[in-house]
Amino acid sequence: METLRLLNEHLQKGDVEEVRKLTEQVIAEKQDTKKILDDGLIAGMTLIGQKFKAHEIFLPDVLLAARAMYAGLDLLKPLLISEGIPMIGKVVIGTVQGDLHDIGKSLVAIMLKGAGFEVIDLGRDVAPEKFLDTAKETGADVIGMSALLTTTMPVMKKVIDMAKEQSVRNDFKIIVGGAPLSEEYANEIGADAYCFDGVNAVDCVKSFLGVG
């Protein structure tokens, strides 16, 4: 227990080396894999998300903590797979076509990964077909789209309309976010939810999937 608490704390400090060492240690101690994930990595990253949201910490702290989380997660992944522990859901995420902004979308991806979701990050400038094809191929539960420009917001509608045309709209929940967006706009284009930040996106996806 003590080691998991330390793991959580070092993750929050962004100490990659220490997180790697502690994760190796708890794996060697044969601690429950799910518990390492939940109480060590996810718990630490959730706190980071909340502190960032409350403006107690800033972007550099989140980026460092995320790197530490990935270091732990990489070690844990083979065990999660071999023990058949499912991730709690799969999300395909990206910034829409024509939009090169990356940071907001990456923050949401970090928070979702940190909450135990499998995240397929398509990056920026993602074509509508790419969102849908990837979601179909991977059997994703959720598609997340980000737009930081008022001029690229309409691409989100294009993806949703395309999903309807292909009769796959009900196969996924679709969430949207980005500075110029609003709940009103999300409703207007037929998205399932507008998420105003990473923590909110995690809550939202969890409620869709009936977890947490």
Q: Is 118 exposed, middle or buried (0-12, 13-18, 19+ CB in 10 A)?
A: middle
Each residue 155-184 as x (binds another protein by CB under 8 A) or -, in order, gives x-----------------------xx-x-x
Closest CA to 13 of 64, 78, 88: 64
Task: Please report which residue ranges of the chain form alpha helices under DSSP H.
Answer: 2-13, 16-28, 33-35, 43-53, 59-82, 103-114, 128-138, 153-165, 183-189, 198-209
Whether residue 69 contacts residue 44, with contact meaning beta carbons closer than 8 Å, is answered with yes
Choose the stretch contacting another protein; rule: CB under 8 A; options: 50-58, 82-90, 133-141, 169-177: 50-58
Choose the stretch contacting another protein; rule: CB under 8 A; options: 56-64, 86-94, 111-119, 129-137: 56-64
Which residue lies nearer to another protein by CB, 98 or 190? Answer: 98
List 99, 121, 141, 192, residue binding another protein (CB under 8 A): 99
List 9, 38, 118, 125, residue binding another protein (CB under 8 A): 125
Separation in Å, CA 30 to CA 33, 77, 196: 8, 15, 39
Choose the stretch contacting another protein; rule: CB under 8 A; options: 77-85, 138-146, 152-160, 195-203: 152-160
Per CB under 8 A, which of residues 77..96 are in contact with another protein? none
Per CB under 8 A, which of residues 26..45 are in contact with another protein? none
Read out DSSP for 58-85? -HHHHHHHHHHHHHHHHHHHHHHHHTT-
Binding residues for another protein (CB under 8 A): 54-55, 57-61, 63-64, 97-100, 103, 125, 149-152, 154-155, 179-180, 182, 184-185, 188
